């Protein structure tokens, strides 16, 4: 069971107002508008994926033999909306730096599973996300899912999970854009993708993203893109600028 902390009422109110304004613009623009969405922690809550990874780790006999106490604690661990990766959840559960071998082992397991097509199936869209994307696509706007996931490890699962939840996906009107190689820098990959769009192709481009590093890079180099910061969780390396709009879900009321 994933426990998500609710965003404050004020944030929800601002979110609804902003989304409503954007929808009106989308309606007027039709095919002259492009909506670009990040996936992890922007359209999809990855907390269930993280919880499943911890459960599956704890269920393996080899881990139970090596780390019996830690595996017992993992069975009751809960993720929060603000968790980025598994580190904070482990610290909250008391599984901190005293267990170095355990940490190496679970980190290796996390890396293998988190970046896999199979585990993407545990992700759940944020409230209103499917309906919001369907709505703007219905107005004729083009859609792109621009993700730091790579084709090789997560391409198949990304495609399957978008379809499973009924997110629009039909090339060329709604496309999935993944990194061709895993090692590429996310912010650079996304910025370059935007740069390749001919300036005259759209009257307006929106970019929904939860990671401030990506937000800041795109904002710095491409000032014609309307960025919407999705306030969920992020790496903590940078903060999103205060002057860009932020939302906490995709609900219009």
- Of 135 and 190, which has the nearer Cβ to Mg ion? 190
Closer Cβ to Mg ion, 26 or 187, answer by number? 187
Binding-site residue total for Mg ion (CB under 5 A)?
Answer: 6
Only one of the segments 55-63, 165-173, 202-210, 239-247 lies at the binding site for Mg ion (rule: CB under 5 A); that segment is 202-210
Our CB check for Mg ion shows the closer of 2 and 73 to be: 2
Q: How far is the CB of 230 from Mg ion (least distance, A)?
A: 8
Strands 124-125 and 44-45: antiparallel
Q: Shortest gap between Cβ of 14 and Mg ion (angstroms)? A: 21
Up-side HSE of residue 85: CA atoms within 13 Å toward CB?
13
- Of 205-244, binders to Mg ion (CB under 5 A) are 210-211
Q: Is 240 helix (H, G, I), strand (E, B) or coil?
A: coil
Q: Where does residue 155 rank: exposed (0-12), middle (13-18), buried (19+ CB within 10 A)?
A: middle
Segment contacting Mg ion by CB under 5 A, of 56-64, 111-119, 170-178, 204-212: 204-212
- Applying CB under 5 A, does 142 fall inside the site for Mg ion? no
Residue number with CB closer to Mg ion (70 or 210): 210
- Residue 161's Cβ-side half-sphere holds a number of Cα atoms within 13 Å equal to 23
Instruction: Please identify, using beta-carbon distances, which residue of 38 and 51 lies nearer to Mg ion.
Output: 38
Nearer to Mg ion, 70 or 83 (CB): 83
Touching Mg ion, residues 11-70 (CB under 5 A): 38, 40-42
Q: What are phi and psi of 228, to 5 degrees?
A: -115, 120
Smallest separation, CB 138 to Mg ion (Å): 25
Q: Could you give the residue ranges of the DSSP H alpha helices within the chain?
A: 9-29, 47-59, 61-66, 68-74, 87-92, 100-114, 117-120, 129-138, 151-164, 186-195, 212-221
Minimum distance of Mg ion from residue 214's CB (angstroms) = 8
Exposure string for 201-214, b = 16+ CB within 10 A, e = fewer:
ebebbbbbbbbbbb
* Position closest to Mg ion via CB: 40
Closest by CA to 32, choosing from 149, 253, 199, is 199
Residues that bind Mg ion (CB under 5 A): 38, 40-42, 210-211
């Amino acid at each position: 069971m994933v426990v998500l902390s609710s965003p404050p009422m004020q944030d929800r109110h601002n979110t609804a107002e902003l989304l409503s304004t954007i929808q009106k613009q989308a309606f007027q623009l039709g095919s002259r508008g492009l909506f670009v969405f990040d996936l992890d922690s922007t359209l999809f809550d990855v907390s269930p994926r993280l919880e499943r990874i911890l459960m599956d780790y704890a269920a393996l006999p080899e881990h139970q033999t090596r780390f019996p106490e830690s595996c017992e604690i993992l069975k009751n661990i809960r993720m929060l909306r603000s968790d980025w990766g598994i580190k904070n959840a482990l610290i909250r559960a008391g599984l901190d730096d005293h267990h170095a071998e355990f940490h190496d082992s679970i980190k290796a397991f996390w890396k293998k599973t988190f970046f896999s097509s199979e585990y993407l199936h545990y992700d759940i869209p944020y409230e209103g996300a499917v309906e919001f994307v369907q709505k703007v696509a219905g107005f004729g706007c083009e859609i792109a899912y621009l993700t730091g996931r790579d084709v090789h490890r997560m391409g198949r699962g990304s495609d399957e999970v978008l379809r499973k939840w009924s997110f629009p996906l039909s090339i060329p009107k709604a496309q999935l854009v993944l990194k061709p190689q895993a090692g590429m820098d996310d912010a650079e990959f996304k910025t370059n993708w935007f740069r390749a769009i001919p300036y005259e192709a759209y009257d307006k481009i929106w970019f929904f993203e939860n990671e401030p590093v990506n937000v800041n890079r795109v904002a710095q180099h491409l000032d014609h893109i309307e960025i919407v910061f999705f306030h969920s969780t992020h790496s903590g390396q940078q903060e999103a600028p205060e002057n860009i709009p932020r939302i906490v879900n995709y609900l219009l009321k």
